[in-house]
C-alpha cells in the first residue's frame, strides 16, 4: 500500500518532500553521526535549526521584531491555560467569543484562571455562523480570545475582528494557510499537528508589550517571558518536532510563501464547496460567508449511506473522512499538505458516488 489521500483533521498530512528528506537524513544528520533526535538541544547544530525555524516563520508571516516567537510544548490546549496565566492577574477579567467546540473549550479552561466574560455564543445557531459583532457584549478585559477557524464545525472568520482588548487567537487549524496581518493580534498560538508540523509542538507569537504580565503562580514551563528569555529552551524542547517544522517552513518558502499557498488553498476549497453546492445529495450547513478553507464538513442526503461512503472512499485510498463525533456526517480537512490532486480525487469519487446512489 502506497501513501493515501489523507484528509485527517489532526494529526494531519505532512508534505511528502518533507518526510522524504527527514527519512534520508534520519540516521546520520548533518555529519553528526547521529539523528537529530539524539543530539543536545544546546549543540551548535541544533541551535542553528531552531534559529532558522524561527527566522523562516518570521519571513513567512512577516512578523516584526515587536513580536516574540516561542516554540512551546503541550499543544494548543496547554495555551488555553497559559493565556490567562500570562496575561491576567488573579481575579482580572477577559472577553471570550464562543463560535464552536474549540473556543468553548478555551473558555472552560480560561474560566478557571480569569473572570471570563462571554461576549457572544453561537450555539443557538449550532455554531453555523459567526454572531454579528453588533450583538457582542464586550467588557474589554485583559484580552479578547477567539478561534479564527473552528476545526470541528468548519467555521472560519473572513476578517479579523476589531476588539477593545488585545486580540488572542487560537489559530491551530489555519495558521500558514494564507497571509495574515500579525500586527492586528496581541497573541497568536497554534498546535502544530494540523497545518504546521508534527504533534508535540505549539507556536506562540506574542507582542512584546504583553510580556512581563505573568502572574507569580504561573508555572515556569507555561511562562512566555521565561521561554523568550531562554530562546524557547528553558527545558528540553521537542527537538524532532522543531526540526520537522523547520523543513515544512522551507517547503512553504520554496513553493512561493503564503501568497502562493493561499491561492492553492482557495482553489482546493472552491472546488470542493462548488461540488457540494451544485449537488442536492451533499450538503454543507455553514454560513457561506464563514466557510473554512481548511475543514469542510458535509452530510449525505441519506445518512444510512454514510458507512458505504466511507468504505468505498477508503478502498480508493481516500482516508479519514468521517466527521467529528459531535457533528456526524463527513469532514474533509484540506490543509496545506493535502494536494490539489488529492482534492480532485475526492471530488471525482463524490461525483461518482452521487451518480450511483443519489
Ligand X SMILES: *Cc1c(COP(=O)(O)O)cnc(C)c1O
Instruction: Please confirm whether the linkage preceding 303 is cis (ω < 30° from 0).
Output: no
Q: Is 102 a catalytic residue?
A: yes
Given 170, 224, 251, 268, the catalytic residue = 170
Q: Is 213 a catalytic residue?
A: no
| Cβ 259 to ligand X shortest distance, Å | 23
If DSSP codes are grouped into helix, strand and coil, which group holds residue 317? Answer: coil
- State the first-to-last Cα distance of the chain, in angstroms, to the nearest integer: 30
Mark out the alpha helices in 11-43 (DSSP H runs).
16-24
Q: Is 170 a catalytic residue?
A: yes
Helix (H) or strand (E) holding 5: strand 5-6
Which CB sits closer to ligand X, 150 or 354? Answer: 150
| Cβ 171 to ligand X shortest distance, Å | 7
245 lies in the site for ligand X, by CB under 6 A: no
**44-52, 72-80, 250-258, 334-342 -> range binding ligand X (CB under 6 A):** 72-80
76 lies in the site for ligand X, by CB under 6 A: yes
List the one residue from 99, 151, 177, 320 that touches ligand X (CB under 6 A).
151
Angle between helices 239-255 and 16-24 (to 10 degrees): 130
Which CB sits closer to ligand X, 170 or 228? Answer: 170
Cell numbers 499557498: residue: 261
User: Greatest CA separation found in the chain?
Assistant: 63
Cell numbers 515556569: residue: 220
| Cβ 242 to ligand X shortest distance, Å | 15
172 lies in the site for ligand X, by CB under 6 A: yes
If DSSP codes are grouped into helix, strand and coil, which group holds residue 254? Answer: helix
Residue nearest to ligand X (CB): 75
**15-23, 110-118, 169-177, 344-352 -> range binding ligand X (CB under 6 A):** 169-177
Query: Which of 217, 219, 220, 173 has the alpha carbon at shortest distance from 336?
Result: 173
Query: Which of 214, 171, 277 has the alpha carbon at shortest distance from 81?
Result: 214
77 lies in the site for ligand X, by CB under 6 A: yes
Cβ–Cβ < 8 Å for 265, 294: yes
102 lies in the site for ligand X, by CB under 6 A: yes
In this structure, what C-alpha cell is assigned to residue 89?
A: 492577574
Give the total of residues touching ligand X (CB under 6 A). 12
| Cβ 247 to ligand X shortest distance, Å | 20
**What residues contact 99, with CB distance under 8 A and at least 6 apart?**
122, 127, 130, 131, 146, 147, 150, 153, 155
75 lies in the site for ligand X, by CB under 6 A: yes
Mask: binding to ligand X, 17-36, rule CB under 6 A, as x and -?
A: --------------------
72 lies in the site for ligand X, by CB under 6 A: no
Report how far residue 170's alpha carbon sits from residue 242's, in angstroms, rounded to the nearest whole number. 19
Which CB sits closer to ligand X, 241 or 247? Answer: 241
| Cβ 233 to ligand X shortest distance, Å | 20
Report how far residue 338's alpha carbon sits from residue 322's, in angstroms, rounded to the nearest whole number. 16
Which CB sits closer to ligand X, 39 or 87? Answer: 87
Given 194, 251, 268, 322, the catalytic residue = 194
46 lies in the site for ligand X, by CB under 6 A: no
207 lies in the site for ligand X, by CB under 6 A: no
**What residues contact 306, with CB distance under 8 A and at least 6 apart?**
300, 328, 329, 330
Q: In degrees, to the nearest 5, what angle opens at C-alpha 185 toward C-alphas 182 and 186?
A: 125
Measured in residues, the chain has a length of 358
Which CB sits closer to ligand X, 75 or 309? Answer: 75
List the one residue from 173, 226, 245, 262 that touches ligand X (CB under 6 A).
173
291 lies in the site for ligand X, by CB under 6 A: no
**69-77, 218-226, 327-335, 345-353 -> range binding ligand X (CB under 6 A):** 69-77
Tell me which residues are annotated as active site.
102, 170, 194
Binding residues for ligand X, per CB under 6 A? Answer: 10, 75-77, 102, 147, 151, 170, 172-173, 191, 194
Amino acid at each position: 500500500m502506497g501513501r493515501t489521500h489523507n484528509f485527517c483533521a489532526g494529526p494531519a498530512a505532512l508534505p511528502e518532500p518533507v518526510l522524504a528528506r527527514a527519512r534520508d537524513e534520519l540516521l546520520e544528520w548533518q555529519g553528526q553521526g547521529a539523528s537529530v533526535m539524539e543530539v543536545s538541544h544546546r549543540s551548535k547544530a541544533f541551535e542553528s535549526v531552531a534559529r532558522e525555524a524561527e527566522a523562516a516563520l518570521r519571513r513567512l508571516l512577516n512578523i516584526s521584531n515587536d513580536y516574540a516567537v516561542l516554540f512551546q510544548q503541550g499543544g494548543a490546549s496547554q495555551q488555553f491555560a497559559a493565556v490567562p496565566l500570562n496575561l491576567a492577574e488573579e481575579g482580572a477579567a477577559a472577553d471570550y467569543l464562543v463560535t464552536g467546540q474549540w473556543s468553548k473549550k478555551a473558555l472552560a479552561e480560561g474560566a478557571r484562571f480569569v473572570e471570563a466574560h462571554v461576549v457572544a455564543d453561537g450555539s443557538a445557531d449550532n455554531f453555523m455562523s459567526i454572531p454579528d459583532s453588533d450583538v457582542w457584549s464586550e467588557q474589554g478585559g485583559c484580552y479578547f480570545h477567539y478561534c479564527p477557524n473552528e476545526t470541528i464545525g468548519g467555521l472560519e472568520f473572513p476578517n479579523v475582528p476589531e476588539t477593545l482588548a488585545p486580540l488572542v487567537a487560537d489559530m491551530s487549524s489555519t495558521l500558514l494557510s494564507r497571509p495574515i496581518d500579525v500586527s492586528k493580534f496581541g497573541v497568536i498560538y497554534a498546535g502544530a499537528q494540523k497545518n504546521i508540523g508534527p504533534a508535540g509542538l505549539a507556536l506562540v507569537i506574542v507582542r512584546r508589550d504583553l510580556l512581563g504580565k505573568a502572574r507569580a503562580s504561573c508555572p515556569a514551563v507555561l511562562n512566555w517571558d521565561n521561554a523568550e528569555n531562554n530562546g524557547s529552551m528553558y527545558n528540553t524542547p521537542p527537538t524532532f518536532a522543531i526540526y520537522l517544522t523547520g523543513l515544512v517552513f522551507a517547503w512553504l518558502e520554496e513553493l512561493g510563501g503564503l501568497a502562493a499557498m493561499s491561492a492553492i488553498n482557495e482553489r482546493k476549497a472552491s472546488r470542493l464547496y462548488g461540488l457540494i453546492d451544485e449537488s442536492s445529495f451533499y450538503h454543507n450547513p455553514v454560513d457561506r460567508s464563514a466557510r473554512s478553507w481548511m475543514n469542510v464538513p458535509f452530510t449525505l442526503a441519506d445518512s444510512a449511506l454514510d458507512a458505504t461512503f466511507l468504505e468505498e472512499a477508503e478502498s480508493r485510498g481516500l482516508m479519514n473522512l468521517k466527521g467529528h463525533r459531535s457533528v456526524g456526517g463527513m469532514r474533509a480537512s484540506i490543509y496545506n499538505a493535502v494536494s490539489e490532486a488529492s482534492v480532485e480525487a475526492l471530488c471525482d469519487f463524490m461525483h461518482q458516488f452521487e451518480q450511483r446512489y443519489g
